[in-house]
Amino acid sequence: MPDGRTVVRALVALKLRLLRNGLRRSPGRTTVYVIGGVAGLALAAGVAVAMTALNGRYAGSGDAGVMLLGVLTLSWAALPLFLFSSDESADPTRLTMLPLRPGPLLRGTLLAALIGPGPLVSLVLVTAAVLAGATGGASAAVAVLGVPLALLCLVTLSRAVAAGNARMLSSRRGKDFAIFGGLAFALLVQVANVGSQSILGRRGGPIDLSPLKPIASVLRWIPPISAADAPRTAGEGRYGLALLQLAAAAALLALLLRWWRRSLQELMVTADSSTLEVARGVQDSRGWRFLPQGRTGAVMQRHLRYAWREPRAKAALFTSIGMTLVICVLSMVQGWASVYLLAMTGVFLGLQMLNLFGMDGSAFWMVAATLRTPADARSELRGRAYAVLSYAVPVTLLLGVVLAAVTGRWSELPSALGLALTLLGCGIALGAMFSVLAPYTMPADSNPMRNAAPGQGGLILLNQFGSMLGVALLALPVGGYLAWALVSDGPSWPVLLVGPLYGALVAALGVRLAAARLLDRTPEILAKAVER
């Protein structure tokens, strides 16, 4: 068994090798990595300058630093939930077969975790939070201890969370958490945006930091935030309280290290439950009796199961719904909400028909083997279209009622629903056509956020932007009439009758045209589906 120092050096070297090999995969990856790192450092430096400018000019500048540390702590704690599978060095289960002791493994992993642009950006942000409230030499002396202590707590917190939940995060449930975590993060960003505008003022108004005081007065005593607030406390002459804040952060660091070590030890000696599963019986399908008979119903059932179980399909579905909800919530908070925002739901959910067979991956060969007649092709695409409609229509109706209730414009609900269903039908038609004529490869790796293989940028742009433009053009008759009715005060209620019929007609025509080409295009689609 290797000694401790050798293990530590090997783990640090392994992290450096992973970074270097990752950058060598392609020039584009290297460019994105460098640009992202430089942009992150530039943004952190800008925050540091802004925090320094607040100090001494505005009352409560130290509270702004505390809030910054609170956001940073929450980000590091949540980081493993939706980036675990994309960071190879964060998964300790990869080392379970090696003869390593928990102590050296812990030290080596901690040092390796401090390598990279993330910890460097965090170091700048922690320093920025300290600069917001620090005054005098006593603050500088305490900051020498407080800043590295806070950074160590942040990194250790993230790795301890990852190690403590490694089994779950590497499973399908963990990938589901990644999807919902990303949506929640996007929603929190918008909430923070609205909140910062109300606190800092708009259109050149005065900056008011007083709303931060009640929250900051509690957060500054919670480690590791307390370590970054200790310099401010020392600058005010309260040295005992500053030492208490540092001690609280040190105690948290000790507890996190203990938790991390125990998690590593359990991972090293506990078998993976996935290797101990016994065979299960065939799942009962009585809950699917409402589906149509024949191939169409079987395709619906398969598509809905994939939408719930397959990480990439679930990511696409919930991202579409999440984008709509984020925009709607933002419009409600900022006061520009409209029932016609419902149109986005029709577009986003209708385009769930895009790249149907690329999403199947290598499993598409089983579909291709059963496509023998034009009727089979029509049933295949019709079943997938019905599956999309089975969740798109209820979501559209529910969101329409919510928007109408919030805005109070119930009179606009019928026309908004008609327009949304029109767009939904047009999206299904174009999605079916693009799935057959312009499929692209989707990698079957463990990262649900990676949605295409390299070198297919043109096909992705054609699918995404071309389909949106096509949906707008196809829906022009209904949308044009609605625009005329709104401008000239004409009746808009006919859209509720004409829109769904028009959307259904376009969807049926698009599915039929796509099915007519599916048999001829099956070899090309299969080649794209299995390509890596």
Is residue 190's pLDDT more than 90?
no
CA distance 116 to 445: 24
Q: Give Dmax (Cα) for the chain.
A: 84
CA distance 303 to 137: 65
Q: Which ranges in 165-238 belong to alpha helices (H)?
A: 166-169, 172-200, 213-219, 225-235
- Give the mean pLDDT of 338-366: 85
- The domains of the chain are located at 4-193+209-271, 292-530
**426-to-59, 342, 517 alpha-carbon distances in Å:** 55, 15, 19
- Residue corresponding to tokens 């000239």: 488
Is residue 386's pLDDT more than 70?
yes
- Give the mean pLDDT of 139-143: 89
Query: Tokens in use for 527?
Result: 């080649």
Q: What is the CA radius of gyration of the chain?
A: 27
- Residue corresponding to tokens 């997938």: 384
Is residue 502's pLDDT more than 90?
yes
pLDDT tens-digit map of 194-250 = 555 555 555 455 566 666 777 788 888 888 899 988 998 888 888 899 999 999 999
pLDDT at 482: 93
User: In the chain, pLDDT over 70 holds for what percent of residues?
Assistant: 77
Got the DSSP string for 289-313?
Answer: TTSPSSHHHHHHHHHHHHHHH-HHH
Kindly report which listed range (229-233, 262-266, 270-274, 423-427) carries the lowest average pLDDT score: 270-274
pTM exceeds cut of 0.75:
no
CA distance 84 to 170: 8
pLDDT tens-digit map of 364-385 = 888 888 888 999 999 999 999 9
Phi, psi of 335 (to 5 degrees): 90, 15
